[in-house]
Amino acid sequence: MRERVQDSGNCKVAANRRLHPDSHTCDLCEARAFNMCNALEPEELARLAAIMSHQTVEAGGTFIEEGAAADDLFNLTSGTVKVFKLLSDGRCQITGFMMAGDFLGLSRGGTYAYSATAITPVTFCRFQRPQLRGLFNELPKIERQMLGLAMNELMAAQDQMVLLGRKTARERIASFLLTLSDRAVRRGRPGNPVDLPMTRGDIADYLGLTTETVSRSFTQLKTERVIALKGNHGVEILDLDALVEIAGIDERSTAMAFDTIA
Amino acid sequence: MRERVQDSGNCKVAANRRLHPDSHTCDLCEARAFNMCNALEPEELARLAAIMSHQTVEAGGTFIEEGAAADDLFNLTSGTVKVFKLLSDGRCQITGFMMAGDFLGLSRGGTYAYSATAITPVTFCRFQRPQLRGLFNELPKIERQMLGLAMNELMAAQDQMVLLGRKTARERIASFLLTLSDRAVRRGRPGNPVDLPMTRGDIADYLGLTTETVSRSFTQLKTERVIALKGNHGVEILDLDALVEIAGIDERSTAMAFDTIA
DNA sequence: CGAGATCTTGATCTGGTTCAAAGCAAGTGG
DNA sequence: CCACTTGCTTTGAACCAGATCAAGATCTCG
């Protein structure tokens, strides 16, 4: 299995790197509080653990390819993943950056609806669909938890549509930084020096811009003393109020979360 | 209750028009096959029907307002609804056009995540959240069905992100027409003279464009004999292959649907 | 340390917006 | 039954935010 690379702008698709199986205990899982395992009793958790395997992928590894048979479902436990779709001429749209607690593997007609590539080294729990489906019948809690996660993702997707359809480059960058900061905080990490594991190109593909425009917007905000750049992969928010103001007043956004459907 | 109108570009928000309660039998429901009632046995359906009320809203009526207390969930049975979010300065992004079978009422922190306005007269089933939640425990089937619906919506949202982030105006219009056509077919309606109940302004707010650009793109496709305009609310597809070609080759899109999560 | 990748900056170009003004179609009331 | 309003839609002309093209500067990591 050597890495076939199909060029497509920033979103090169390298074939699956070797997946490294890994021992793992749910007790210590850092994603536990945010994911579908959240509501489970120890005994139930054990049953879930019985049908899953825990694995790692190195940075740059593509472990889901759009159009391939959707055999598995993934539950991230650490690291950051970019989820994206490509147009035939190579244009790329990243639909989300996934972190610990997020699940991956949406399918349409039995094939994956998007590709997923590790930006940092990642670890995840992997489930085979038929087995997971079986467990759903016995533990409807899981299904409910997933419905909640799906609803949250749907709301995030709607916010992203507003961003892509109606916001300026500057507003997009500001919103992006605030969203990342919020997400970090909600995962118990510091929200201020914002960590940007992805490249400028990835940010561009996420925000519907070009690398150059992303860079210029950062520079502009830096010049205005709203942010400070900490190398290529970190941003310090110097003036939060200003950033919120620039983002446009819809940053209720990802602020709170997890209403169940009813 | 008179209509307060808060101007905001194309997406004026008029206060709830009177909701007309309505008698209704699930047996005859035209949305039955596509919505969350689909998998239910007659006896189960009766229990669902017991906690719902069936209502109508006239065209132009706004029955969900972003930020208001999210007390109810809606399940459309006929008509077309636009779902949208507004920025503080009035910019509007329509995140979807909903039809029979779609559900409405996503909430975040107890308040609705978006507004919804009827484009045509609509009818829907209305559920109160607490009651529906109660039924979930007894009929997990409903929850599963909703998870499937949510997943489908999520995939549609991802396609829309590609459209908004990376497609040209021409490509957006072509994709839009194909998607509407597909949806009509999947609901057992003719797919070819495509019905456009919404205005050019609505289409613009959905596709991240302006009214003028939408109009110009239609005119261009008409000049090229790819489509023919049938008044303001209809489009005949004259050259389907060309339209698919123009849309960009990702129109697997809404083509098929309804994989369950696992 | 050095080479490739990533990031910034500058100059120019353009697709889509904005601003402005007719068309057009569906009522409405005289 | 027809002028008149009203709300879309189309078309035209000027403009601009962001894209594209083209160097450099700066990381990153073997």
Nearest to B154 among A88, A150, A208 (CB): A150
For residue B163 the two structure tokens come to 């459209």
Helix (H) or strand (E) holding A116: strand A115-118
Distance CA B149, CA B98 (A): 12
At B60, the pLDDT band (50, 70, 90 cuts) reads very high
Domain parsing of chain B, residue ranges: 5-150, 167-255
Q: At residue B147, what are phi and psi to the nearest 5 degrees?
A: -60, -40
B10 vs B239, more confident:
B239
pLDDT, tens digit, 9 for 90 and up, residues A19-54: 566 666 777 777 777 777 777 888 888 888 888 899
B19 vs A182, more confident:
A182
- Per-residue pLDDT, B7: 39
Q: Which of B66, B89, B93, B115 is best to mutate for the A interface (most A CBs within 10 A)?
A: B93
At B257, the pLDDT band (50, 70, 90 cuts) reads very low
- Per-residue pLDDT, B260: 53
CATH number assigned to the domain with residue range B167-255, chosen from the 4 options 3.20.20.120, 3.20.20.80, 1.20.1070.10, 1.10.10.10: 1.10.10.10
Q: Quick one: average pLDDT of A110-120? A: 95
Of B15-19, B70-74, B75-79, B158-162, the poorest mean pLDDT is in: B15-19
Nucleotide nearest to B201 (CA to C1'): D8
At B144, the pLDDT band (50, 70, 90 cuts) reads confident
B12 vs B230, more confident:
B230
CA of B93 to C1' of C9 (A): 33
- Per-residue pLDDT, A74: 95
Identical fold, B5-150 and B167-255: no
Highest mean pLDDT among A53-57, A208-212, B258-262: A208-212
A38-97 residues near strand C (Cβ < 7 Å) = none
pLDDT, tens digit, 9 for 90 and up, residues B20-53: 666 667 777 777 777 777 778 888 888 888 888 9
Distance CA B227, CA A28 (A): 59
At A115, the pLDDT band (50, 70, 90 cuts) reads very high
CA of A223 to C1' of D17 (A): 19
- The pLDDT of residue B57 is above 60: yes
Distance CA B231, CA B85 (A): 28
Q: DSSP state, A10?
A: B
The CA R_g of chain B, rounded to the nearest whole Å, is 19
For residue A90 the two structure tokens come to 């190579």
CATH number assigned to the domain with residue range B5-150, chosen from the 4 options 2.30.290.10, 2.60.260.20, 2.60.40.10, 2.60.120.10: 2.60.120.10
Distance CA A25, CA A34 (A): 16
Interface of B with A in 2-61 (CB under 8 A): none
For residue A198 the two structure tokens come to 């992805």
CB burial readout A234-258, b (16+ within 10 A) else e: ebebeeeebbeebbbebbebbeebe
pLDDT, tens digit, 9 for 90 and up, residues B80-129: 999 999 999 999 999 999 999 899 998 988 999 999 999 999 999 999 99
At A256, the pLDDT band (50, 70, 90 cuts) reads very low
- Give the CATH fold of the A5-151 domain: Jelly Rolls (2.60.120)
B154: which chain A residues are within 8 Å (Cβ-Cβ)?
A: 106, 150, 153-154, 157
HSE-up (13 A, CA, CB side) for residue A28: 4
Looking at chain A, the whole-number percentage of residues with pLDDT higher than 70 is 86
Distance CA A233, CA A59 (A): 15
Closest listed residue to residue A167, CA positions, set A249, A83, A84: A249
